[in-house]
Chains A and B, each alone.
Chain A
Amino acid sequence: MRANLLGTLAVLLVLLVMVVGLPVLNQAIPAERPVAVGAAIDIGHGVRLVPPPGAAMDTTRTLPKQGVLFLVLHGLDFRAEVKATSQSLEDSARRLRGRIQGQRGVQLAGDPREVVTASGVPGLRGAFSATGGDGLYAVYQRDNLAVQITVSGASLPDQVTAVETSMAGMVFP
């Protein structure tokens, strides 16, 4: 019985290390990595974006292989995703709106309006309300490359200019 107890405790210890220890260690290591001010980041497929000043990259939610860049900025979540697509800009925007609307506690606010980057790439930009604060979304598309951006968080009103400047400065290949 003693050997059984010791063996059981050893198995329990390994299980606890895996189920409790690793998540606690993960929590203890910061996920944010500062981004140099003014430095452009390649989101994927050669699309480059200059993050708003003060933004940090969330290393756990950024997936370069899948063309996903995740930034955090004073409590804001800034997610940009590049996709190869055969759809029109309107269809891409409709798909993104559908995905946002499908989230619990999120409500789209009005129709999107037309926007354009500094280098002339057309896009559509709209807004939504969520329980955790307001949000904005945008889709930019040239040829068969679409960039979907969603930004949300309580501090959006204070950061909206910086976010829009960042989006407008996006460069397509």
Chain B
Amino acid sequence: MTAAVRPMPSGQRRVTWRTPALWLTIAALTYGLWKVTSVVYPAFVTYPHAAWLAIVLFGLYAVPFVLLFAGLDYLEREPISLTATAMAWGGLAATAVSAVSGKALKDIVAKLISPEFSDVWSKAIVAPTVEEPAKLLGIIVIVLLAKGQVNSVLDGVVYGAFAGIGFQLVENFLYAMRAVAVAGNGDSLPPVIATFVVRGFLSGLWSHTMFTALAGAGIGYALVAVSRPWWRRIGIALLAFAGAWLLHFVWNSPLLINGFGTGLLGVVAVLIVKGLPGLLLVAAMVNTARRSEAAYYSATLAGLDDPGLCTTGEIRTLCHARSRAAARRHAKARGGFKAAILVRRLQYAQARLAVALSRAAGSPAGTVYDHLSARFRDPAIAVERREQEVRTLRGKLLGLGISDAAAPVHHKGVHWTRLALTTVLVIAGSVLLAVIIRRLGGS
């Protein structure tokens, strides 16, 4: 059985100016910034209103994605500096590298096979062939910068998703600007809105973010499954990359490009047929990775056998987002808003304690990086600080009459009200999108 988490090894170095990967990252991001600016700046000069609208729309669009990915690994949150680097790599370095190499590879396909073949299949073959490696390099760079931070499959997913969303945002902006130019109506806004609806909503869920998250999971596995033979770890990483390539290929392929021939609904049906299987696959994989990681940290906390730090119910609650929210609601009902805030802080503190315990187990004689104080510490001292933090919050909760911050146990039935509400929202959203597309001149 492979451990879900590989504790940060002893002697994990802090990034310094002598770290080669840091210089490579700076050089690649600078190159990407230069290339992307050379395209973005003229767009702002020629179509200022459209460009600003695209920035605002896709900027707002990114917010829920970023929050989702940042919270994906609740128990061991990734440092903002690293997630931001992954996102910048996707948006700048990977975009620039893909633009240059994609153009060259498309030409090579046209020369070696035929213009007809290139015209039909290049988008499906060239885009995944250059874009997936370019984004994957971003995750590898994160590993080189802070190997100890990528210590679970979920970590790979998170960094992959950030590299993917960065790429997706810049690409969507460029697509919007191209749509404005092709429309030929000057600085007009409808092409930006149309691009936002189509690339943001209709295809946003199963795009670059999903592909690179899958590839990142492979990197995470290769790093964490140290008890497995090297060929198996490399093989799984390659398989995950091949999966990302294949999902991208299917998504870009000209198959069913005209829908099922029933207008807008047919087109939407094709988008779902092409994208949903991949999304479900990645969602299932993320769910498995989260459960696996939760089980690891649960066992770590359970090993303390100290109800003052973590009760059995709190450990169960900590592992699921829905349970954590239920625990906060339950606390609010008993002790008001202040109790809910305290439970939230307690949950954070318990998660940090679990991570500190894990790192202490991984390097009992070394030092570990403590993100709270941004310093390298003796692992025992780090654990002590986390324990102190939990006990302080526990004391405050006891003052409000709450001794156990666990979520109440409910029967595992179907939430019919929630299900009905979700169904109504999805239908209403689909109808709204259809109306918007028709207004914008879609079929």
Contacts of A31 in B (CB 8 A): 107, 110-111
B174 at the interface (CB under 8 A from A): no
Q: Which of B19, B23, B108, B114 contacts A29 (CB 8 A)?
A: B108
A19 in contact with B100 given A1-B18, A4-B144, A60-B111 (CB within 8 Å) = yes
B400 at the interface (CB under 8 A from A): no
Contact check, B137 vs A64: say whether CB atoms are below 8 A apart.
no
Contacts of A66 in B (CB 8 A): 119
Contacts of A63 in B (CB 8 A): 115, 119
Which residues A48-91 have CB closer than 8 A to chain B? Answer: 57, 59-60, 62-66
Q: Which of A18, A26, A65 contacts B107 (CB 8 A)?
A: A26
Q: Which of B19, B119, B133 contacts A18 (CB 8 A)?
A: B133
Which secondary structure characterizes the binding site on chain B? helix
Interface string of B82-120 (1 = CB under 8 A from A): 000000000000000100110111111011101110111
B134 at the interface (CB under 8 A from A): yes
Contacts of A23 in B (CB 8 A): 100-101, 103-104
Q: How far is the CB of B130 from chain A (nearest CB, A)?
A: 6
Contact check, A26 vs B104: say whether CB atoms are below 8 A apart.
yes
Interface size class of B (residues with CB under 8 A): 20 to 34
Contacts of B13 in A (CB 8 A): 1
User: How many Cβ-Cβ contacts under 8 Å join chain A to chain B?
Assistant: 88
B33 at the interface (CB under 8 A from A): no
Which of A8-16, A130-138, A164-172 lies at the binding interface?
A8-16
A19 in contact with B97 given A4-B19, A64-B119 (CB within 8 Å) = yes
Q: Which of A4, A15, A18, A62 contacts B20 (CB 8 A)?
A: A4
Which residues A95-115 have CB closer than 8 A to chain B? Answer: none
CA distance A89 to B143 in the complex (A): 60
Contacts of B107 in A (CB 8 A): 26, 29, 31, 59-60
Chain A residues bordering chain B, tally (CB within 8 A): 27
Give B20's nearest chain A residue, CB to CB. Answer: A8
Give A29's nearest chain B residue, CB to CB. Answer: B111
Contacts of B114 in A (CB 8 A): 59
Q: How far is the CB of B414 from chain A (nearest CB, A)?
A: 48
Contact check, B21 vs A7: say whether CB atoms are below 8 A apart.
yes
Contact check, A11 vs B104: say whether CB atoms are below 8 A apart.
no
Which residues B271-319 have CB closer than 8 A to chain A? Answer: none
Q: How far is the CB of A109 from chain B (nearest CB, A)?
A: 24
Q: Which of A7, A12, A65 contacts B119 (CB 8 A)?
A: A65
CA distance A57 to B137 in the complex (A): 37
CA distance A4 to B144 in the complex (A): 6
Give A26's nearest chain B residue, CB to CB. Answer: B104
Q: How far is the CB of B49 from chain A (nearest CB, A)?
A: 20
Q: Which of A8, A60, A65 contacts B21 (CB 8 A)?
A: A8
Q: Which of B104, B115, B137 contacts A25 (CB 8 A)?
A: B104
Q: How far is the CB of A133 from chain B (nearest CB, A)?
A: 24
Q: How far is the CB of B334 from chain A (nearest CB, A)?
A: 51
Contacts of A5 in B (CB 8 A): 20
B140 at the interface (CB under 8 A from A): yes
Given A15-B137, A18-B101, A59-B111, 5 more pairs with CB closer than 8 A: A1-B13, A1-B19, A11-B21, A29-B108, A59-B115
A: residues with CB less than 8 A from B are 1, 4-5, 7-9, 11-12, 14-15, 18-19, 22-23, 25-26, 29-31, 57, 59-60, 62-66
- Counting from the closest, the 4 A-B pairs by CB-CB distance are A18-B101, A22-B104, A8-B20, A26-B104
